[in-house]
A and B are shown apart, each in its own frame.
Chain A
């Protein structure tokens, strides 16, 4: 069965650079979530989209923005990167059953 696809799986950036993460949800899933997980931390909710509209916002810095496109894929844009942005970024999708399906994550390292 198709799963949530995230790209890139790994990326390394310098401070103050920008990065874009992509997420392709499971087909027919209408809701996408973004989570950030620092080393040894629990996943922190960043933002979510339902039917291409932002549905909820969590602890997402103003330097970050995200959107969901007409094909339901989503992108998380991160600018002015800081060392503290180094983390695993997960995308998850759901069809409304309550269960979230997570991708394998994108590991961002900021040097």
Chain B
């Protein structure tokens, strides 16, 4: 089963609106990361939040982490058409060797101009 699962699977919003997506995971983690992927392209790291952090900001991105609920959320504020992409959460489980990341199912975000 997947370590991380995302909700919603797809999101369609107007430019300027905020986009929120959630991620749940199953095991204890060292950190949780969010990545962005344009169709057919490589994944690009957005933000990393450590297990002892609750919230982190990077530009228009805000990430929260609730380790008691094993969940995280990614908020993109004032969205732009260029934010159209798939967004994945990925976890670095504490018992995993080599710091491998386990990815969730992804949220496809469409920002309409």
Binding site for B on A (CB under 8 A): 4, 31, 33, 35, 42-45, 48, 50, 55-56, 58, 88, 90, 92, 94, 96, 98-105, 107
**Bound Cα distance from A103 to B40, whole angstroms:** 11
B74 to chain A minimum Cβ distance, whole angstroms, is 15
Question: Chain B residue with minimal CB distance to A92?
Answer: B43
A48 touches B42 (CB 8 A): no
Main secondary structure of the interface of A (DSSP, over half): strand
A-B pairs with beta carbons under 8 A, tally: 62
Tally of chain B residues near chain A (CB < 8 A)? 26
A73 to chain B minimum Cβ distance, whole angstroms, is 17
Question: Chain B residue with minimal CB distance to A96?
Answer: B99
B33 touches A98 (CB 8 A): yes
**Bound Cα distance from A12 to B42, whole angstroms:** 19
